[in-house]
Amino acid sequence: MILLLIVLLFFTSGCFHEISEEETSQHISWENGFEAVENFRKTTATELRKAVEDCTLRRNCWIEEECWLEIGITDEATRKYRLAPDMGDASITSEIAYEGEKSAKIVSYGIPPGYKELFAAVAHYVRKQSSVKEGTYEVGAWFYVPENKDPLVIIGMEYHPSWIIQYFTYAAIDARDGSVLVPNPKGWTKVGQVEFEYNNWFKLWVTFDITGSKEKFSIGYKSLSEVKTFEGDVWVGYYNPAYIGYKAFNFYAGLVSFDDRGDQEVYLDNFYVREIDSREWLLLKKSGFEHEKIFYFPESWQGQNAHPEYEWHLEKPDQHAQTTTELSLSGNRSAKLWTAPQHGKNVRSVLVAPDFTHWDKPLKKISVYFYLPEGQFGESDAGVWLDIDLYDRENGKWYIAIVGFNRKGLIKYGIGYGATGGQISYASLDGRFTLDCNKWYKAELVADFSKFGEDGGMILKLYIDGKEYEWNLPLTAWTDYMIYGFSFGAYYFGISNYLNYKAVAYFDEVEIYVGEKGDLHSA
């Protein structure tokens, strides 16, 4: 569909405002394959306290950038846990890896008298308060146990909403007999059985819905021979003064040893944490751009037949896009978009796909991978754009959810009424991120048109170097300038620039979705 937007966006100008953590939230999307790790920082009470204070009091959250190794022992009589950093170790090794060239090797040493268990795990601590949010989280990793060792292989997370109450969701596989175990205040409870194999990689993960009753969590196991799922009881703890004044997530992957098992060892790779979107989405189209194609603007653009459903075409004449073998995220091709410079003017190249079947569903989403080549996409004079529109012919309203961003972190989004689509206004904010050239990134825009006129009607997400950034934005842009005789939804992605050079970007794995529940007039 043609969107008659002459977007007068100059990324070096615009109104900035200082944004708080409440305005910009960073959801957890983290993975460590240990390819770039040189060593581990052992967790001690002093080091951890300083790191927490730096993050919660001084907003210097280096704690989340470090690769921590937490080692602790559990008292046999009281089952109290204390840190014991000298009773284990971890190193980066090229001996074996699930993916890439390196993995983490975790070892534990003998347990002293009076103690029953030893815990040694790579840890990821989250203390940035805007990131500690209720949601559904998956924590997982790949493990390898050599045949002469028999630890419990463990994965898990802790949620500390306050110092008064804490939730523990751990799962372990006993290498001795394949028992699936979860901890409790007195020991371990068996919840299942797998056919454990030494000298083979396997995946273990847990999923915990913090928004629910917090009573159960799920466990997943995947090996060369089987895939199984189980359910465990959440261990609830009370009154831990170490967490007074802040919320926290702790994520772990490693081993547990016992006083009768001696030194233990496990290899770890692709340790990850991610938040799962629990909303129900219907995938309308996934585009990998694997076929040779030059994109055009339809000649008879005002007729519905000129716009095949879910097929990409140019937003306007004088824009440029085609598939290419120059670069690809997956497969052999991607979509290459470029602008034709016009001195003193802002120029765009945008692809759009219409949806006629589900146009009145208020919840819509587009996600794209994009690549900005060195020397062909400026830091502040060019931008990437995502846009979702809902054109309601019956009610005479054209709703516009449009967001753009540049490499220096400036975000602009449409607001307010415009006599035409090209006359809506734009607000700006500093997203506090930077994008490098010659790297693939992912962007996602969710628009909920049932929340039109409200804050949070749009959600922009960027996935940058293993982290997920999220901005909740108001959805208020619209016009009553109607140029089509039919209703539709439309999804857009593309680029713009205003200096006198040809800007270029590549896009791949573009997905468009609609929420499966509700419609515009019942929402």
Each residue of 210-251: pLDDT tens digit?
A: 988 899 999 999 998 888 999 999 999 999 999 999 999 999
Q: Is the pLDDT of residue 255 over 60?
A: yes
Q: Which residues pair with 257 in a beta bridge?
A: 118
Question: 93-121 pLDDT, tens per residue?
Answer: 999 999 999 999 999 998 999 999 999 99
Q: Which two tokens stand for residue 141?
A: 């990793």
The first and second tokens of residue 379, run together, are: 């830091």
pLDDT at 16 over 70: no
Angle CA 449–455–457, to nearest 5: 25
pLDDT at 305: 86
Distance CA 207, CA 138 (A): 4
Euclidean distance between CA atoms 353 and 314, whole angstroms: 9
The total of other beta-carbon atoms located within 10 Å of residue 138's CB is 16
Report DSSP letters for 286-317, one per residue. Answer: EE---S--B----TTTTSGGGS-TT--EESST
- Sequence-distant (≥ 6) Cβ neighbours of residue 86 within 8 angstroms: 71
Alpha-carbon dihedral of residues 289, 294, 300, 303, nearest 10 degrees? 0
Segment 180-210, tens digit of pLDDT: 999 988 899 999 999 999 999 999 999 999 9
Give the span between the Cα atoms of 103 and 35, in whole angstroms.
Answer: 7
Check residue 185 and give its pLDDT.
Answer: 86
126 touches 202 (CB < 8 A): no
Tokens for 50, please give them.
């300083």
Q: Is 39 exposed, middle or buried (0-12, 13-18, 19+ CB in 10 A)?
A: exposed
Half-sphere exposure of 92 (CA within 13 A, CB side): 16
- pLDDT at residue 278, as a whole number: 64
Residues 310, 288: Cα–Cα separation, whole Å: 13
Global pTM reads 0.59
pLDDT at position 1 over 80: no
Average pLDDT, the chain: 90
**Through-space distance between the first and last CA atoms of the chain, rounded to whole angstroms:** 25
